[in-house]
Structure 1
């Protein structure tokens, strides 16, 4: 609408000049003209040599063009204000539409149809194409490496976004130190193909994770060094230099790498969870029995240390030197044992599986399984709204989510199992329930005071499992329960703060960004850029900059520009 405003301003000025030139009398005609956004009173007189005055005082209020620069109110003023209001309304409408479209992950056709409908029904200017509204980048560059396509977004960009939030704050005890959590995991895209994403995610405190990099191929990266080189270089730079915003410097530290067992083995370059020396915390040596590796020893095993791991002193456990260890990252203590995969999807699921179809020593009858399922279904719809899911039957256990196993362990399980398990089996199950409840307690005082008790309960659960569920029950996940309390002690937080739940939720939202099978990684990059553009919490308007980089040099150049703009 700016062109219409300028046209009206010029038209008003021309009309005023035309009217003033038609007057024959010497009397001054006052005409209001809008020039450059100001209302100017035009003093126009017929030139008469006899009436020429050279009084300097009379020229004080005249501009070079003979206009008196006295600002007065007029109809043109209100007209300009109306136009400005209309422009602001249209701009706000476009921003709101863009935010609404990106937050709901709408398809291009859906947004195009809505724009067409609004344009035809509303007296407002809107773009015809959703790509104009969302400022979709025309091209996205990626690099071919590690046997697939790779895009690096950067850590600093995501941190600046969170730091610029009005609600951002750090506790006094943190002393301007930001402790970062990282998650690296594979996520399959389609059921009919083996294509998958391997994103690097980052978050801190309770903020939503953001994407640092993404890899796309039909397999995981075939070179760990190439996959992590950009990430490690920028991370080391942030740790040494920190990050600055509004004349305030923030120190960057690594808090934890939160991954499942296969991803941890890939990143640390160690034996997988089915290996004889798979434990990441102690030197226990497993043995093969009943088609599985049993990790159980009655003796106290030697704990692993970061120094020995970096020096490659565990050849039976390590496949080689990990680039993370080579860069100085402590690979034993910095990798948490994610309780979402270890306990919920691992141990609890295994307990229920053994109760349904395990050995005779622990297997329940079909009638008992049916009654437990009916008891769970009877609770459906009666749980508070804080629970994400309602209880389901044990016959659907293959489709249970991690939150359902957590709910069964902490809430519904102790209620429905009491009537059907022996006292020994029930107390054994309660030992796991109480221990995990302690480790999940957000009250640091209560959690710390009962931490040793929780560790003893978990050790009891693992040792007693051999008698209750048979020896083949004690696999990798069950053995790692003995090290779970060490994470709460090392990270000084509850298991909730170092769990994979927020990352898994974000991975599902990333997967939903892919609308078709052609160039999935490009689709994700464009959707991320659209969301950054529509994000109202950015301090600077970064809509014209595509946050995609192919090399460390490119991202350094952009960061230096960002620092100068933010200071």
Structure 2
């Protein structure tokens, strides 16, 4: 809609209620590739690749080419951007990240590829949002992508990597009858066959005739023409594990623990005494406000804090939290921790027994009405990791962070989509001409010379250090001896 156009419904000028901005995939790709070409070429070598990354997943290795290759991870999500009582609008960016750029550099906002942007009070249809983008991708897949860097022509092949199983749900019995259950007992007795893209396409064709969902398929999507929905769409552990399942567990545990006020105080003191690395920007506080925690706080709490906290709580206040809940959760904890970032690809084959036992006992410890699909879906995460790499490497944390950036690119309440698109193009063009990522980000191994050393701490421990130095080397150090406060190994300082 142009600025001088009128809305066909209300005839109001200069206030479009919907905006769809489509970006040039070639230009966005060129921007990111130019900034990362040295990293992309370095990361092609197997010895430089992270063992848990997508590039070592079975799907990627099966479809790997000897040619230079670019592989997209696609995502989209909506974020409310105008929240007034009269007007509520949301922005829906369609983002891509290049798998060939090593993690975590690929998730930097400057390496995000914006394919399209929808701004409206209404949720867009799949066809409206994706048709033009998918057509551009089909062309890229068919023709490849050429780019000149330092007068050298590089040709890239283009593909898209990134399972689902159809489960028959049953309504929970009266007096509830509200939830559709996916009970472990029924699943393990008669596992369903894995769905295929052909099956999903047939169900989508029947939708026009019946005008309702067919075997769980609620509509067709243009994406099915360039990727396999069952094989190349993943469960996001950010939402599935942290935002849904783990928050539910915290709610159940809080109802038990709050019966003993001393236990709540103990937990809060434990959390507040934790010394975090400088890279932890968000840190969980006040256990009673767990429902307000952001996903990054839930991640820190589950992966690093919860197990030592519960064990110490049981030792100090034994009766405040049943041991059976701790033992049961330990199964999920091991399952998620291992799948989050594999150190050995063979470990994934040991994970089914943990989640199988966890799900088999879930309904005996918690409300049977909570045995929903979000609980059942946990059983498929190990298969997903086997195909697409560890959970940390294809989560939506980067996409969710990008939503905050897009929100800050707009002001007021008019033409917000146009504003976001304009400033995104300006900032990204300025960035890629001056910033180029180098493999030294991962290979540097050196002492950092700076003035951050604490002289008071140095004086406090110098005598003890000098004695230890003498015991180790048989002499005292001379006046040329220097002290350093920081050491850098790759991305770790």
What TM-score, normalized by structure 1, do the two folds share? Answer: 0.60
Name the SS for the 2:172 alignment partner. strand
- Once the 2 structures are TM-superposed, how far is the Cα of residue 218 of structure 1 from its aligned partner? 0.4
Can you give the 5+ residue segments of structure 2 that lack an aligned partner in the other structure? 9-15, 47-63, 205-212, 315-319, 436-493
Aligned partner (choices 409, 422, 445) of residue 302 of structure 2: 409
Equivalent positions of 1:411-490 (< 5 A) are 411-418=304-311, 419=314, 420-443=320-343, 446=344, 448-490=345-387
Secondary structure at the aligned position of 1:189 is classed as strand
Structure ranking higher on relative contact order (CA contacts 8 Å, 6+ apart): 2
2:165 maps to which of 276, 281, 300? 281
Measure how far apart 1:364 and its partner are: 5.4
Alignment of 1:225-304 (within 5 A): 225-246=127-148, 247-256=153-162, 280-288=164-172, 290=176, 291-298=178-185, 299-302=189-192, 303-304=194-195
3-state SS in 1 of match to 2:183: coil
Bigger drift between 529-538 and 467-476 goes to 529-538
Alpha carbons of structure 1 residues 214 and 536: separation in structure 2 relative to 1, 3 Å? closer
Q: Which of 24, 27, 30 is 1:154 aligned to?
A: 24
Per the alignment, residue 474 of structure 2 pairs with none
Rg larger in 1 or in 2? Answer: 1
Give the C-alpha shift of residue 368 in structure 1.
5.8
Q: How does 1:217-232 map to 2 (within 5 A)?
A: 217-221=120-124, 223-232=125-134
In the TM superposition, what whole-angstrom CA distance separates every residue of 1:279-327 from its partner, at most 9, and x where no partner exists?
Answer: 94232323235343322141233122223112328822112333322x2
Q: Match for residue 398 of structure 2?
A: 502
Deviation at 1:346, TM superposition (A): 1.1
Alignment of 1:42-441 (within 5 A): 148-165=18-35, 167-170=38-41, 171-172=44-45, 175=66, 176-192=68-84, 193-205=87-99, 206=103, 207=106, 208-221=111-124, 223-246=125-148, 247-256=153-162, 280-288=164-172, 290=176, 291-298=178-185, 299-302=189-192, 303-312=194-203, 315-325=214-224, 327-357=225-255, 365-367=259-261, 370-380=264-274, 382-418=275-311, 419=314, 420-441=320-341
Distance 1:499 1:234, change over 3 A: same
Q: Find the residue that maps to 1:316 and give its secondary structure.
A: coil
CA RMSD of superposed structures (Å): 2.8
Deviations 1:98-148 (A, max 9, x none): xxxxxxxxxxxxxxxxxxxxxxxxxxxxxxxxxxxxxxxxx9999999972
Q: Structure 1: how far apart are the matches of 2:244 and 2:251?
A: 11
Asked if the contact 1:436–1:454 (Cα under 8 Å) also holds between the matched residues in 2, the reply is no
Distance in 2, Cα, partners of 1:395 & 1:244: 55
Q: Give the aligned partner of residue 51 of structure 2.
A: none
Q: CA deviation at 1:253?
A: 0.9
| Structure 2 length-normalised TM | 0.69
Tell me how far 1:181 sits from its aligned partner: 0.4
How many residues end up aligned between the 2 structures? 368
Distance apart, 1:388 and its partner CA: 2.6
- Gap change, CA 1:242 and 1:427, over 3 Å in 2: same
Q: Deviations over 1:143-187 (max 9, x none)?
A: 999972111013222111111125432414654121110111111
Aligned partner of residue 384 in structure 1, secondary structure: coil
Distance (whole Å) between structure 2 residues aligned to residue 456 and residue 509 of structure 1: 41
C-alpha distance in structure 2 between counterparts of 1:487 and 1:368, whole Å: 41
In the TM superposition, what whole-angstrom CA distance separates every residue of 1:322-374 from its partner, at most 9, and x where no partner exists?
3322x2421112111000011111111010011123xxxx6752426513532
